Amino acid sequence: MMREEHGNVAPALISKGEDVGEIRVDIPYQLITILETIYSWVPKGKIAVITRRCDEKALAELTKRNYIDEKRIIKIGLACSKEQIAKCRCSDPVPSKVDIGEPNEPVPKDDLSERLAKLSPEERLKFWVKQFRKCNKCFACTHNCPVCFCDDCVLEERTFVPEQSIPPGLSFHMIRSYHMIDKCIECGECERSCPAEIPLLTLRKMLAKDMKEVYGYVPGDPKAVSPLNTTLEGETLEDECDEC
């Protein structure tokens, strides 16, 4: 959970018997990314996590891929405020169980996605190439993403993304887009983290729309099997992404 101490707010792991202190639920920090780091430090027992709807969907994606055992997680459902929903342009803001807050209405559409969808493919490409030229390859979008979980990231390999190349070129963004297309739960953390202000959430939303239209697949559903893990004969494959 997020805790305020001496005027600063930061993620905190609180053990049994410890004073909880001043909990803050108004900051959409990606606690699931933190959970992935501390999960192995706590080999036994349960871990309680404040989960917004996007956190709940990230947990579902991690559980499906055997990265965590959801039976060890106690979810404290947090319904996001209207202000937060507007900031996140969130179309799915209410967790399956609300323990904190009141459910609020989603934002039905992303204005930039709608505008881009009306452009020709050439104009859209021009828009994204211009955006990607701003990228400084800081990796904030990958490191802060709750479902970007490979131990060794292919984007850090020189084969696909030359070490010295900044901006990194289209392959960087295409590989990341492909890797996120069946996992992205639209939390917006990549966009919030990006120092170059590239509208990464819009990119994810547009790709998610295609994924839904073409394959009927929506990330975050614990029962839905990714079409990327399915053979043409309909057999499910293991997702083994320890090393990408």
Residue 161 is a binding residue for ligand SF4 (CB under 6 A): no
Q: Of 69, 59, 68, which Cα lies nearest the Cα of 31? A: 59
Q: Which of 68, 141, 153, 175 binds ligand SF4 (CB under 6 A)?
A: 141
DSSP summary character for residue 170: H
- At residue 151, the 3 state secondary structure works out as coil
**By rule CB under 6 A, what string of x and - marks binding of each residue 195-214 to ligand SF4?**
xx-x-xx--x----------
Beta carbon nearer to ligand SF4, 68 or 194: 194
**By rule CB under 6 A, what string of x and - marks binding of each residue 43-62 to ligand SF4?**
---------xxx--------
Tokens of 110: 């992303």
Q: Which stretch binds ligand SF4 (CB under 6 A): 6-14, 34-42, 119-127, 130-138?
A: 130-138
Beta carbon nearer to ligand SF4, 7 or 170: 170
Do 23 and 42 contact (CB within 8 A), yes or no?
no
Beta carbon nearer to ligand SF4, 15 or 96: 96
The burial class, CB within 10 Å (0-12 / 13-18 / 19+), for 192 is: middle
Please state the φ and ψ torsions of residue 23, each to the nearest 5 degrees: -80, 135
Please state the φ and ψ torsions of residue 175, each to the nearest 5 degrees: -65, -45
Which spans of this chain sit near ligand SF4 (rule: CB under 6 A)?
28, 52-54, 80, 84-85, 88, 90, 93, 135-141, 145-148, 180, 184-190, 193-196, 198, 200-201, 204
